[in-house]
């Protein structure tokens, strides 16, 4: 049998559970707040209230889901962006913690950022989703479509999309409970978010494509992340099919 020896195989081995071993919490991990909130922002973008009923037949939506890589220049409506954000990270129960998408231990380590290329009644720029208040914090204003396209290995879908969702994990939020195993859960959680966003996009008559190939340092720099305590893990481009 060939013995695998790579950083990937070591990661798999070192984060594995057995009856005789569970990964210990790293010494640097500490409890952190369940939400990331910005105090100093360019602008608060208030979002329309999302709908929690209707939305089409689930089986038809699943059957219609495809990865769409070409988008028109038509913008997203702000109400559509609101619905998409709620569908993946919105609060769905009293108490302010449980959300629309599953997360290991209900810790929700992945923060949602949006590159706003073309959204009606909304400035172009970079924004962070304020989960607790269902609103966007505008962090930088301007056209970042070329930047996000270049950071995604030149993929045209990221440049053409009306909006690009980017998820970045606050590692300690998960690691203080699960140790090095947290990295597995972070990636699994991000996969849930991307899948749920794609279904929500279909329900709204939109197209989307999930993006796992990107330059980590460039996406982190674009979003203002340190790349260690908060790291980019996944992106999804959304728009009207071209």
Q: If we measure between CA atoms, which residue out of 152, 149, 144 comes closest to residue 214?
A: 152
Q: How far apart (Å, rounded) are the C-alpha atoms in residues 60 and 242?
A: 21
**Sheet order of strands, 110-116 included:** 43-46, 135-141, 125-130, 110-116, 163-170, 230-239, 207-211
> Could you tell me which of 98, 95, 168 has the C-alpha nearest to residue 128?
168
Written as tens digits, the pLDDT of the chain (242 aa) is 456 678 888 888 888 888 777 766 667 778 888 889 999 999 999 999 999 998 889 999 999 999 999 999 999 999 999 999 999 999 998 877 899 999 999 999 999 999 999 999 999 999 999 999 999 999 999 999 999 999 999 999 999 999 999 999 999 999 999 988 999 999 999 999 999 999 999 999 999 999 999 999 999 999 999 999 999 999 999 999 98
Instruction: Give bridge partners of residue 91 from the DSSP assignment.
Output: 99
Which two three-digit tokens encode residue 104? 């290991």
Whole-model pTM above 0.85? yes
Structural domains of the chain ordered from first start: 37-239 (3.40.109.10)
- How many Å is the maximal CA-CA distance in the chain? 60
Q: Are 202 and 65 in contact (CB under 8 A)?
A: yes
């Amino acid at each position: 049998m060939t013995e695998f020896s790579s950083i990937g195989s070591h990661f798999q081995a070192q984060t594995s559970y057995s009856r005789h071993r569970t990964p210990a919490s790293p010494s640097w991990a500490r409890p952190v707040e369940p939400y990331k909130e910005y105090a100093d922002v360019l602008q608060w973008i208030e979002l329309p209230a999302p709908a929690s009923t209707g939305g089409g037949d689930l089986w038809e939506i699943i059957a219609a889901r495809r990865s769409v890589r070409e988008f028109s220049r038509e913008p997203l409506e702000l109400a559509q962006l609101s619905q998409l954000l709620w569908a993946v990270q919105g609060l769905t129960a009293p108490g302010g913690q449980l959300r629309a998408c599953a997360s290991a231990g209900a810790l929700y380590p992945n923060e949602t950022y949006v590159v706003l290329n073309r959204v009606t009644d909304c400035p172009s720029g970079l924004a962070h989703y304020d989960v607790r208040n269902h609103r966007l914090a505008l962090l930088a204003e301007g056209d970042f479509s070329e930047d996000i396209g270049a950071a995604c290995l030149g993929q045209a879908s990221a440049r053409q999309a009306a909006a690009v969702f980017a998820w970045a994990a606050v590692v300690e939020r998960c690691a203080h409970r699960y140790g090095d195993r947290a990295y597995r859960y972070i990636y699994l959680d991000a996969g849930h978010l991307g899948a749920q966003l794609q279904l929500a996009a279909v329900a709204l008559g939109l197209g989307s494509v999930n993006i796992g190939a990107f330059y980590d340092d460039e996406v982190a720099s674009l979003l203002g992340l340190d790349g260690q305590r908060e790291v980019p893990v996944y992106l999804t481009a959304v728009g009207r099919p071209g």
